[in-house]
């Protein structure tokens, strides 16, 4: 199915998200779900990869992304990777402080 919602920049972002999830999260999913916690290092790595705080203004060190489609891509990739519980964690982290 061809989509017209996303452009090349979105698809590049999607590929990066997918790569990060496959490398840093998917292999550990079951362990984290059993433990009920995701290690802090994963959040640091996600932040370094540009996957957290998308709406944070540039003046505070964020990318100030206003295009909601990037957040949709994050959600789609979490779901595709089977990271349903992580979706709640990342979503609250990426939207905290943005009213």
Residue 28: other Cβ atoms inside 10 A:
13
Instruction: Locate the domains of the chain by residue range.
Output: 8-95
Give Cα 41 distance to the centre of its chain: 15
Give Cα 77 distance to the centre of its chain: 8
What's the CATH number for 8-95?
A: 1.10.540.10
pLDDT, one tens digit per residue, over 75-98 is 999 999 988 765 555 555 544 444
pLDDT, one tens digit per residue, over 38-66 is 899 999 999 999 999 999 999 998 899 99
- Please give the structure tokens belonging to residue 78: 């979490």
Structure pTM? 0.79
71, pLDDT greater than 50: yes
Residue 50 in contact with residue 59, Cβ under 8 Å?
Answer: no
Residues in the chain: 99
Q: Work out the pLDDT band at 74, boundaries 50, 70, 90.
A: very high
The helix (run of H) or strand (run of E) holding residue 20 is helix 8-20
**Close Cβ partners of 58 (under 8 Å, ≥ 6 residues apart):** 64
**Close Cβ partners of 28 (under 8 Å, ≥ 6 residues apart):** 42
């Amino acid at each position: 199915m061809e989509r017209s919602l996303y452009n090349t920049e979105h698809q590049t972002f999607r590929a990066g998200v997918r790569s990060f999830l496959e490398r840093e999260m998917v292999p550990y999913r079951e362990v984290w779900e059993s433990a009920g916690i995701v290690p802090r290092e994963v959040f640091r790595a996600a932040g370094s990869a540009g996957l957290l705080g998308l709406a944070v203004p540039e003046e505070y060190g964020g990318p100030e992304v206003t295009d909601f489609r990037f957040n949709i891509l994050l959600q789609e990739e979490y779901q595709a990777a089977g990271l349903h519980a992580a979706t709640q964690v990342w979503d609250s982290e990426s939207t905290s402080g943005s009213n």
